[in-house]
Amino acid sequence: MIGYEFLSTRIPLRLPPVARPAQVRPVTRIERLADLLAVPRHVAPGADATILEHVLFALKHEDMQMALLLEALRLVSAEELTAALSAQRTGSYLRKAAFLWEKAHGRELPMPWDSTGGNYVDLFDATDHYVGPVWERSQRLRVNFNGIGPFDFCPVVRRDDALAQRGQQVLDRLQAWASDPGHQGTLERVLSWAYLSETRDSFAIEQETPSPDKERAFLQALAHLRDRRPLSEDYLVELQNTVISSPLRVEAQFRIEQNWLQRGGHGALAVRYVPPPPDRLPALMDGWMRMANSQGGDVPPFVRAALVSFGFVYLHPFMDGNGRLSRLLAHHSLNLQQVLPVIGEQPTLLPLSVAMKRHEALYLATLESFSRPARGLWDVTYLADNVFAFEFMSTPQIYAHWDGDSAARFVTACAEQALTQSLIDETLFIQSHDRAFERIDREFDLPNRTINLLIQWIQQNGGRMPARRRQASELALMKAEQIDRIEAIVATSFQLTSLAPPTSPQQANEA
């Protein structure tokens, strides 16, 4: 065992399993495989290598797993690290290790110099990971902390140029759709449909149907995202009060007690996820809000929206409403980044929840890529009906520093589907419907309601009039040849060029 896998055996805490462990293999150079990092023997730390040497190997060759690094560096003495720096004072990986050592110990590393000297180095290599602004800078160690978020909340996403290009293509196609002169007569109707569908499907994911008042409130919250208010505890409380169904569950602040997610099963086995302890929540939420409000760095818009949305639900800062609010916050992120075209005075909305509802099993699997291993870090004891005792056996850093690759891929794929299968298809549907309505209205003296019913029945039956509908009371005065003619009009009106299906979230996760 080498690198992170070796370190995990030395740390006296439970930690999530190493996703892609480094292992010695008969290769001539380091190779990144699907489930491991193949390392030549001459590159790997030796059998007698120290914890610090394995830390330096992980920093140089493996993906950034900060929670594990921080706990490993707790086991490294100040004397050992200072001695290593004395031998190689400007070594970039030693300085990165020293920076994280100070974070882990909460104090400065004693050094015989005011500064190590050397050029400033970024903790995150921008050729491997998406990065944010320089959140903090150590003048003593010449290290910049340039994560996607600040140290208190900094998920990690590997740079993926193909994924970023897919996201940009969605935004480019969205802009083209919104500015197409041929769509101007239908855009506002499509956008109204999108806002309503997003609202209803976000509640449907929680197995709820909003009341008319709650539906209106949610729609207003979506509409007011155009104001681009920075996230704060007060604003999030407002939004929580908006998305929650029961007035008994509205809250006035972030939670001050432990909550959990429970689903099917008996006793402690029914507890499927445990968010961070309440005493750790303030620092985590402060870091999350700073990340969510930041516009610095090179993070693609849908990747940032994914980290905001999934990061919020992992922290679960309220006792109820976190899921619906997390999906609303994905839209807040896109509005804050000003990447959506404006129709009238309203920003376009990609109904992400519609795509998530269509792929609900994959949505759950993406959430569980973090929540399932996190559940194993807690000891949960069943005491009585819905009463449990919780003991956290790990470090709260796992809630601050997590792998966001799966969330980024899922949300990008949902954006692709939201554009094509919702906005574009709905535009084509409305245009086809309008074309059919106009032709039927011109040829036949029928009430508008009857025309709409005829179009609905024929279109939903693959362009043919259902036999049982021919005897409907609305058509009592119509002749068979008239119904046949209307059938032909509807079929012709809806014969549009079929769209190639976009990459599904399932395909994206398998890519």
Binding residues for ATP: 320-327
Distance CA 415, CA 164 (A): 12
Distance CA 70, CA 435 (A): 64
Distance CA 511, CA 505 (A): 10
- Check: CB of residue 40 under 8 Å from CB of residue 419: no
Cβ–Cβ contacts within 10 Å for residue 503, how many? 16
Nearest to 43 by CA among 63, 22, 64: 22
Q: Which residues pair with 392 in a beta bridge?
A: 378
Q: Please, what is the angle between helix 66-73 and helix 51-61, to 10°?
A: 160
Distance CA 413, CA 267 (A): 36
Distance CA 259, CA 257 (A): 6
Q: What is the DSSP letter of 386?
A: T
54, 129, 316, 359: the catalytic one is 316
Q: Which residues contact 376 (CB under 8 A, 6 or more apart)?
A: 14, 16
The per-residue b/e assignment along 453-465, b for 16 or more CB within 10 angstroms, e otherwise, is bbbebbbeeeeeb
Sheet holding 136-138, edge to edge: 121-122, 143-145, 136-138
Active site residue 331: no
Q: Output the six-digit token pair for 169.
A: 């293509």
Task: Please give the full DSSP string across 343-361, using - where no structure is assigned.
Answer: ETTEE----HHHHHHHTHH
For tokens 């994560």, what's the residue? 147
Distance CA 209, CA 222 (A): 17
- Check: CB of residue 414 under 8 Å from CB of residue 356: yes
Positions of E strands within 365-411: 378-384, 387-392
Q: Which residues contact 214 (CB under 8 A, 6 or more apart)?
A: 203, 245
Active site residues: 316
